[in-house]
Amino acid sequence: SYVLTQPPSVSVAPGKTARITCGGNNIGSKSVHWYQQKPGQAPVLVVYDDSDRPSGIPERFSGSNSGNTATLTISRVEAGDEADYYCQVWDSSSDHYVFGTGTKVTVL
């Protein structure tokens, strides 16, 4: 089955840039989506189709995808960005959705 690997944690100072990676075999050939989940809340879609943002999501959230790694970038990080982040793809070989292992972003 297809596996998506994320770093367990990323720490960043306010105002700096956080980069969260999502590794998968030839992930660059897939469409990657990213979700933000704050404690006790449901996930929220922050990036779809590698790099597009749903309405209401700040421009500070951006994404890229190439080769074996997709990346979610959060610019000018704010305290409110502290959350768990998950990548997701559709694996057509198994007809399964797959979530990444998740990354906890801590704002120092």
Partner 1 sequence: EVQLVESGGGLVQPGGSLRLSCAASGFTFSSYSMNWVRQAPGKGLEWVSYISSSSSTIYYADSVKGRFTISRDNAKNSLYLQMNSLRAEDTAVYYCARDRRYPDGDAFDIWGQGTMVTVSS
- For partner 1, the binding residue among 9, 17, 76, 97 (CB under 8 A) is 97
Torsion of CA 75, 77, 81, 82, to 10 degrees: 130
**Binding track, positions 14-53, relative to partner 1; x by CB under 8 A:** ----------------xx-x-x-x----xxxx--xxx-x-
**Cα–Cα distance measured from residue 60 to residue 86, given in angstroms and rounded to the nearest whole number:** 17
Residue nearer to partner 1 on the CB measure, 62 or 88? 88
Binding range to partner 1, per CB under 8 A, among 9-17, 20-28, 70-78, 99-107 = 99-107
d(CA 38, CA 18): 16
How distant, in Å, are the alpha carbons of 2, 60, 99, 100 from that of 5? 10, 23, 9, 6
Amino acid identity, residue 28?
Answer: G
Stretch that binds partner 1, among 12-20, 67-75, 93-101 (CB under 8 A): 93-101
Binding-site ranges for partner 1 (CB under 8 A): 1, 30-31, 33, 35, 37, 42-45, 48-50, 52, 54, 84, 86, 88-90, 95-102
